[in-house]
Structure 1
Amino acid sequence: MFKGLSAFPLTPFNASGVDETAFLNLLARLTSAKVDSLGVLGSTGSYAYLTREQRKRIATLAIQHAEKIPVIVSIGAVSTDEVLRLADDAQQAGASALLLPAVAYQKLTDDEVFGLYQDVTRHVSVPICIYDNPGTSHTLFSDALHARIAALPHIQSIKIPGVPADLAAARQRVESLRAQIPTRVSIGVSGDAFAANGLIAGCDLWYSVCGGLFPRSAKAMTDAAQAGDFALVEQQAQRLAPLWALFSKHGGSIRVIAAAAALLGLAEKDCLPRPLRSLAAADIEEVRQVLNQLQLE
């Protein structure tokens, strides 16, 4: 489960709320491509904007339509009590694993972050992935903190937020973390622009936004990495560079991916939860041009 391509789809919205039909259409692209795992209700899945009932519904739909692909469900929330309730919902729905960010309003100390993971590991029976995403959770993890948490039961993966652009530095980053954590714990790279370097540097998998909409294009990169064909990994990354540039231009991936899903007829034009807004018309046209150029699938 914690290898290869973990694809993170949007949770599309329409005027009535969550657009379940659009979500299932997106999911079908991923199951057809036979991604290695489905990461639902991540940051691209807008977990922070959904109610508990909406999250439970999306988790249930994903698991019912996963076609035996493992489903990793995010259970991030500000309070531990809510995290535990979300963990119960995900497990009852049949989640294969849980994705846990340390979401903070008040800045958390290292002991408080550790305490969150300790509380959850005592409560659950399925594997947990540490979700290290300081841009959205506002929590910084040191390697020492990762190592402390990784020693807890049920911790089986760490989703790191990226690696250095310099390949030697990227290898050092991954090797340093790996030396401090149990061998049972995998390391996955996120931040799509860092994927190639992360995979070449020794990450076990790519937690991918791109893979949530264009699974075959993303899987070509992880398949090449698993085969040890790092020249092809770099080639695939260079091909996808115009998409990474759009992510950077718009302060992240979610608005670009939402626009792309709408352009492909897979979601409505305004498919993000408020207060998020779709891109302006000129920016959507730029997304269209990149999609036409790259012919992603």
Structure 2
Amino acid sequence: MFSGLSAFPLTPLNETGIDEKAFVRLVKRLVSAGVDSIGALGSTGSYAYLSRDERMRVTQLAVENAEGTPVMVGIGALTTHTVLRLAEDAQIAGASAVLLAPVSYQKLTDVEVFSLYETVTRNLSIPLCIYDNPGTTHFQFSDELLGRIAQLPNVSSIKIPGVTLDPEEAKVRIEELRAQIPPHVTIGISGDPFAATGLNAGCEIWYSALGGLFPEPCLSIIRAAQAGDSEDVLQQSAQLNPLWELFRQYGSLRVIAAAAELQEAVDSPCLPLPLQALNGPARQHLCEILKRLKLVD
């Protein structure tokens, strides 16, 4: 399951709770589009804002409506104790894999992060993906640490942040990381504006926020990458540059939330306060971009 397009849908919610019907619709759209896997409760899924019970419910809904498409579930939390409970819940619900970021209020050390993954993998019966997301966790993995964690049982993939946009530098970066990890562990690119360069540099999977709402253009890009057509990958990604610019300026979550509202896939608001989707001139600009790209009517 750790190749192709892994699409990360929103978890639509407001102050009264999760909009389960809207979430199920999003999951079913991904299944119909033919994504390779679904990433529930990633950063786009607002995992850090939900209680254990809410996360269990989202996991159940994702698995029940995935129709056999593998579902990976985020289990990041502030304490190892909580992470272990979330891992247990994910396995009970039938998740195919878990995604773990080293979440903490106090900045963690390498020793603490290795201990977290060592403890969790020892208690897993399904694969784990390492989530390297320094923009939210403020923890910077070294290649050496990633290599040590990748040797642990059940580790199957690494979700890395965006690489440099320079093709040769990106290739060197992926080759350096590949040299540190076992061959069975795949390298996945996140940070959608950098996906094309990462895929052309050798990443086997795209962990995509945009794919969670608009899977079709993302599938077209990943299939071109799998076919070895690097020029087509870059050309298709370039067509989405107006969206990538908004991602860089406002963050992918706010952009995707506003896009989902504009598409009427979810009600407004759909993010946990104080987070808010784009509004005002930025929202209008997004609407114009989506219409120009024929992603909304």
**Shared fold per TM-score greater than 0.5:** yes
Deviation at 1:25, TM superposition (A): 1.1
Aligned match of 1:59: 59
For 2:78, give the aligned amino acid.
V
Deviation at 1:171, TM superposition (A): 0.1
- Of all paired residues, the percent bearing the same amino acid is 58
Counterpart Cα distance in 2 of 1:262 and 1:296: 13
Aligned match of 2:132: 132
Three-state SS of the structure 2 residue aligned to 1:207 is strand
8 A contact 1:217–1:296 mirrored in 2? no
8 A contact 1:39–1:71 mirrored in 2? yes
Aligned match of 1:293: 292
Give the gaps of 5 or more residues in structure 2: none
Aligned match of 1:72: 72
8 A contact 2:12–2:19 mirrored in 1? yes
Deviation at 1:57, TM superposition (A): 0.1
User: Could you list the per-position Cα deviations for residues 25-61 of structure 1 after superposition, in whole angstroms to 9, with x for gaps in the alignment?
Assistant: 1111100111000000000000000000000000000
Counterpart Cα distance in 2 of 1:232 and 1:130: 29
Counterpart Cα distance in 1 of 2:276 and 2:35: 29
Matched, 1:247 2:247: yes
Matched, 1:268 2:264: no
For 1:209, give the aligned amino acid.
A
8 A contact 2:14–2:273 mirrored in 1? no
User: Could you list the per-position Cα deviations for residues 62-106 of structure 1 after superposition, in whole angstroms to 9, with x for gaps in the alignment?
Assistant: 000001100000000010000000000000000000000011211
Deviation at 1:152, TM superposition (A): 0.4
For 2:281, give the aligned amino acid.
A
Matched, 1:141 2:141: yes
Matched, 1:212 2:183: no
Deviation at 1:15, TM superposition (A): 4.7
For 1:258, give the aligned amino acid.
A
Counterpart Cα distance in 1 of 2:27 and 2:294: 19
Aligned match of 1:31: 31
Counterpart Cα distance in 2 of 1:170 and 1:265: 37
Aligned match of 1:179: 179
What is the TM-score when the length of structure 1 is the normalising length?
A: 0.98
Matched, 1:259 2:249: no
Three-state SS of the structure 2 residue aligned to 1:259 is helix
Three-state SS of the structure 2 residue aligned to 1:180 is coil
8 A contact 1:78–1:105 mirrored in 2? yes
Three-state SS of the structure 2 residue aligned to 1:267 is coil
User: Could you list the per-position Cα deviations for residues 267-289 of structure 1 after superposition, in whole angstroms to 9, with x for gaps in the alignment?
Assistant: 11211011212322222111100
Three-state SS of the structure 1 residue aligned to 2:179 is helix
Deviation at 1:247, TM superposition (A): 0.8
Counterpart Cα distance in 1 of 2:270 and 2:107: 31
Three-state SS of the structure 1 residue aligned to 2:27 is helix
8 A contact 1:37–1:70 mirrored in 2? yes
Deviation at 1:128, TM superposition (A): 0.2
5 Å-filtered alignment, 1:32-51, equals 32-51=32-51
8 A contact 1:101–1:130 mirrored in 2? yes
8 A contact 1:14–1:268 mirrored in 2? no
Deviation at 1:160, TM superposition (A): 0.3
Counterpart Cα distance in 2 of 1:34 and 1:146: 31
Aligned match of 1:104: 104
Aligned match of 1:198: 198
Aligned match of 1:88: 88
